[in-house]
Amino acid sequence: MSTCPFATCRSLLGSVRTTTDATRRAAASPRPPSLSFAGREGALLQVPGLLIRSSLYKPNVSAAAVYRVKLVTPEGREYELEAPDDAYILDTAESAGVELPCACRAGACYKCAAKVEAGMVHRGDGSLLHGRLQEEGYVLICVSCPRSDCVIHTHKEDDLW
């Protein structure tokens, strides 16, 4: 014999105080569609006078820090970018119209290898560069974000071998 999954909830909520008519009228006022689930939940529980309150939650999101990143190519061309600390350096460069070598965009192929001359860069979790290469300042810019103003020399894949 199957019982309603909400039977336990109905029995537990049987002692819930019923709301006043004014409260019921306020609850019946139109709500944004994203909050309508709360009314459905109350209806599923079938508890007379049950009022489920809900509210929108807006996290306190602060703006990302922005750093000046200078990219230097082997030909000596320099590109200065405003790079947020929550965006990959490669994506920021491409958004600014800078063409750089890349293939996998996951830190696995080394095509986007670069060397940090000055500043700090966060190497992403996907980066396969380890040990000596990291100590020497090499990064994969497809999975790296700036953590300070920095100078980065691009096109360094051949240096890794």
Q: Which residues of 3-20 are buried (b: 16+ CB within 10 A; e: fewer)?
A: eeeeeebeeeeeeeeeee
Share of the chain above pLDDT 70, in %: 60
- Break the chain into its structural domains and give their ranges: 1-60, 66-160
What is the band of 97 on the pLDDT scale with cuts at 50, 70, 90? very high
Residue 142 one-letter amino acid:
C
- Tell me which CATH code domain 66-160 carries: 3.10.20.30
| 105 Ramachandran zone, left/alpha/beta (phi>0; psi -120 to 50) | left
pLDDT 10s digits, 2-47: 444 444 444 444 444 444 444 455 455 454 444 445 555 556 666 6
Name the pairing type of β-strands 113-118 and 121-123.
unpaired
Q: Specify whether the CB–CB gap between 140 and 113 falls below 8 A.
A: yes
10 Cβ neighbours under 8 A, 6+ residues apart = 4, 45, 46, 47
pLDDT at 55: 60
Task: With a cut of 80, say whether residue 101 has pLDDT above it.
Answer: yes
Question: Tokens 């990302």 identify what position?
Answer: 64
Task: With a cut of 50, say whether residue 146 has pLDDT above it.
Answer: yes
pLDDT at 13: 47
What is the band of 152 on the pLDDT scale with cuts at 50, 70, 90? very high
Mean of the per-residue pLDDT values of the chain: 76
Euclidean distance between CA atoms 152 and 79, whole angstroms: 10
Q: Which residues of 57-77 are buried (b: 16+ CB within 10 A; e: fewer)?
A: eeeeeeeeebbebbbbeeeee
- pTM comes to 0.60
Share of the chain above pLDDT 90, in %: 43
pLDDT at 6: 46
Looking at per-residue pLDDT, the higher value among 147 and 108 belongs to 147
27 Cβ neighbours under 8 A, 6+ residues apart = 19, 39, 51
Task: Give mean pLDDT, residues 130-155.
Answer: 92
